[in-house]
Amino acid sequence: MRIYGEHEQRVIDQLARCAAVEEGARAVLCADGHLGYSQPIGGAIAYREPPRSGSRPGRCRPPAPAAGTCSRSPPA
């Protein structure tokens, strides 16, 4: 894990839990990071494996979008 800036311990713990989901996952927390719902805001996790279909919510990895769908919101 790479951590930039100073953060509350619970923010660092949240990032560590998300990175622990998969062996070899990489994590970074930017200087403006703060506690989020399932993963720190301002943090990023890089997993080697794509999410499994039917992943349980709240496990730091959302399920993959269905084939033929876009994961981004359309422009306003």
Domain ranges of the chain: 2-46
DSSP 54: T
pLDDT: which is higher, 13 or 71: 13
- Per-residue b/e over 40-50, b at no fewer than 16 CB within 10 Å? bebbebebeee
57 — pLDDT class (breaks 50, 70, 90): very low
Q: How far is residue 54's CA from residue 56's CA, in Å, rounded to a whole number? A: 6
What pLDDT was estimated at residue 49?
Answer: 74
pLDDT tens, position by position, 3-56: 999 999 999 999 999 999 888 899 999 999 999 888 999 999 998 877 666 555
Tokens of 55: 């992943």
What pLDDT was estimated at residue 54?
Answer: 57
Calculate mean pLDDT across residues 58-75.
49
- Per-residue b/e over 2-21, b at no fewer than 16 CB within 10 Å? ebeeebeeebbebbeebbee
